Amino acid sequence: MLKIENLHASIDGKPILQGLSLTIAPGEIHAIMGPNGSGKSTLSYVLAGREGYEVTEGSVTFDGQDLLAMEPEERSIAGIFLAFQAPVELPGVGNANFLRTAINAVRRGRGEAEVDAMQFLKLARARMKVLNMADEMLKRNVNVGFSGGEKKRNEMLQMALLAPRMALLDETDSGLDIDALKLVADTVNSLRGPTFSALVITHYQRLLTHIVPDHVHVLAGGRIVRSGGAELALELEATGYASAAA
């Protein structure tokens, strides 16, 4: 499904990713762990199509398509979803309007029927209930005045509503208390299935006790230096990145 081969990427001429290769099959959940500065966030941004990153070598395909040639919105329609580490605030943009615009843009792109205001509310409210979000969060501006936990819940709401096939969770666990962490994990686990894959990027092992990955990779110096099963995360927790990467 997602195939990354020998990916090199740099920012402002500074190389960050230096030969990263990774293949994620449908239904699999992979975790990438690594110290700060190892290139974790760069990987998620390059996959989602953020400007400012230059891919100097290698390729990324998604269902055989050249992902790097696609606009960010095209990637979203194709099924990529990036859960942001620090979701931006959008003063003046109502959350309900934003969510419905996004859902319908994605549906239109996928050749599905758009939802009207009533259908949207029904969909959103059902998912918000599971996420323990108050209805009034639809009326507020996107992420404006949201606590860290509320922002992440809002991200999970978007993820659930946009029905991605490949979720990229960029340190979604950072700064979360245990309840919010569980809600993130529950959302990912609820989407888990033969057509849903995820790449969980994290610094800590604790999220991975709630989202049990099929594969764990250690990222260091812009490439994957070690891969293993879920037990690798526990080992890293015990011994640290330095010895694991050695």
Partner 1 sequence: MTALTTGAAAFLARAEGAAPRLPGADLPWLAQLRAEAALAFRGQGFPNRRVEAWKYTDLAAAMQAAFGEPLSRSESLPALPPALHPRAVFVDGHFRPDLSSLAGLAFPVAGLAASLPSLADRLGAVASPIGHPLVALNAMLFEDGLVIDLPAGLAGGVIELLSVATEAERAPTFHPRHLLRLGAGATLTLIERAIGPATRYLHNPVFEIEVAEGARLNHGRLQAEGRDALFLSSVSARVAAGGTYDNFSLIAGARLSRNEIHVALVGAGAAAHMNGAQLIGNGQHADTTTTLDHAAPGCPSRQTYKSVLAGRSRGVFQGKILVRQVAQKTDGYQMNQALLLSEEAEIDAKPQLEIYADDVKCSHGATVGALDPEQLFFLRARGIPKAVAESMLVEAFLTEAVDAIEDEAIREAFAGVVPGWWQGAR
- Where on the chain is the footprint of partner 1 (CB under 8 A)? 48-51, 71-73, 75-77, 81-82, 84, 87-88, 90-93, 97-98, 101-102, 105-106, 109, 158, 162
Chain centroid to CA 53: 18
CB of 91 to partner 1, least distance (A): 6
**Residue 44 vs 205, nearer CB to partner 1:** 44
CB neighbour class for 152 (10 Å; exposed up to 12, middle 13-18, buried from 19): buried
**Residue 184 vs 216, nearer CB to partner 1:** 184
Burial 132-143 (b: 16+ CB within 10 A, else e): ebeeebbebbbb
**Residue 33 vs 106, nearer CB to partner 1:** 106
**Residue 77 vs 233, nearer CB to partner 1:** 77
Strand order in the sheet with 65-66: 14-24, 2-11, 53-62, 65-66
CA distances from 25 to 3, 22, 164, 180, 203 (A): 8, 10, 14, 28, 23
Is 121 within 8 Å of 142 (Cβ atoms)?
no
CB of 123 to partner 1, least distance (A): 15
**Residue 75 vs 215, nearer CB to partner 1:** 75
- Return the closest-CA partner of residue 6 out of 55, 53, 47, 39: 55
Task: Identify the helix (H) or strand (E) that includes residue 40.
Answer: helix 40-48
CB of 86 to partner 1, least distance (A): 9
Q: Which pair of structure tokens corresponds to residue 230?
A: 């879920």
**Residue 143 vs 205, nearer CB to partner 1:** 143
State the amino acid at position 3 in one-letter form.
K
